[in-house]
């Protein structure tokens, strides 16, 4: 048994620290259901997992895994792209996975950006495992445009202390472009709101993987940072006052 965590284990360990029984969490790429099952165990009987995928095959595999583990009651499955997460969280409402709303959502059309602003902070953790469904056609894979739309829509809905994991792969068509776009987006997030970390395996001979972990800072932490900044500014407005040369 290795003493070091691989990227998946590192993602799970970080997510586990952020989730408590009763939490609302998101699996943005249900796939074979492994992360959904992991999250369902964490939230307990009073919590809820929202799992998204554009492939019915993926959701059927996820549903089967949940039923076998007797955890299906803790999860809502959405046959739609993860760019619609913001719609499902709008106004702090959780629409059912079937019916007119689900039928109206498509992977091709991201929601209006104005809807992102309506998201109320409520999500404790979210997981993105980008790429394609293992064992299926590689042509059906996550794309930079919809992945970024999902991330942009999700951030305002994440609670202070919440953790976001994004596992990027570059071995499939479009994978390098998506990884680059997500890494650049993550690097632009404000430091006073988000802690952003990047992990990768340096000597991997196959396609490069990147794991991005983001933690939303607590309100107390943000306020403390602002107070410190004010203390280091003198009466003339010099931001370097008090610093040693």
Q: Is residue 245 part of a domain?
A: no
> Can you give the C-alpha Rg of the chain in angstroms?
19
User: Exposed/middle/buried for 93, CB within 10 Å: 0-12, 13-18, 19+?
Assistant: exposed
| pTM of the predicted model as reported, rounded to 2 decimal places | 0.76
Whether the predicted pLDDT of 5 surpasses 90 = no
Total domains present in the chain: 1
β-strand pairing of 194-200 with 209-216: antiparallel
Question: Domain for residue 239, yes or no?
Answer: no
For 32: left if phi > 0, alpha if psi spans -120 to 50, otherwise beta; the answer is: alpha
Beta bridge partners of 24: 48, 123
- The single-letter DSSP state of residue 72 is G
Query: pLDDT for 214-241, tens place per residue?
Result: 999 986 554 544 444 444 344 344 444 4
The whole domain housing 84 covers 20-231
- Is there a domain that residue 195 lies in? yes
CATH code for the domain of 142: 3.40.50.150
Sequence-distant (≥ 6) Cβ neighbours of residue 68 within 8 angstroms? none
Distance between CA atoms of residues 104 and 235, nearest Å: 57
165, 63 Cβ separation under 8 angstroms? no
Residue 164 lies in a domain: yes
Residue 156 inside a domain? The answer is: yes
Name the more confident of 133 and 186. 186
Which tens digit of pLDDT belongs to each residue from 98-120? 333 333 333 333 334 444 444 56
Residue 113 lies in a domain: yes
Residue matched to tokens 């943000």: 222
Give domain status of residue 123, yes or no.
yes
170-174, 200-204, 211-215: least confident range: 170-174
In a domain, 160, yes or no: yes
């Amino acid at each position: 048994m290795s003493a070091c965590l691989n990227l998946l284990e590192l993602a799970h360990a970080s997510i586990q620290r952020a989730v408590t029984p009763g939490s609302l969490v998101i699996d943005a790429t249900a796939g074979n259901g492994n992360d959904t099952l992991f999250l369902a165990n964490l939230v307990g009987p009073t919590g809820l997992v929202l799992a998204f995928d554009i492939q019915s095959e993926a959701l059927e595999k996820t549903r089967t895994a949940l039923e076998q583990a007797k955890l299906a009651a803790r999860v809502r499955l959405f046959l739609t792209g993860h760019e619609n997460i913001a719609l499902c969280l709008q106004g702090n409402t959780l629409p059912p996975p079937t019916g007119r709303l689900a039928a109206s959502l498509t992977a091709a059309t991201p929601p209006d950006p104005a809807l992102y602003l309506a998201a109320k902070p409520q999500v404790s953790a979210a997981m993105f495992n980008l790429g394609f469904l293992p064992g299926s056609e590689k042509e059906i894979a996550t794309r930079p445009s919809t992945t970024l739309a999902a991330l942009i829509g999700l951030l305002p809905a994440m609670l202070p202390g919440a953790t976001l994991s994004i596992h990027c792969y570059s071995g499939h068509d479009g994978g390098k472009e998506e990884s680059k776009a997500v890494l650049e987006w993550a690097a632009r997030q404000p430091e006073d709101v988000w802690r952003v970390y990047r992990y990768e395996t340096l000597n991997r001979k196959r396609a490069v993987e990147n794991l991005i972990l983001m933690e939303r800072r607590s309100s107390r932490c943000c306020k403390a940072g602002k107070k410190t900044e004010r203390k280091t500014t003198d009466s003339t407005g010099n931001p370097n006052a008090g610093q040693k040369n």
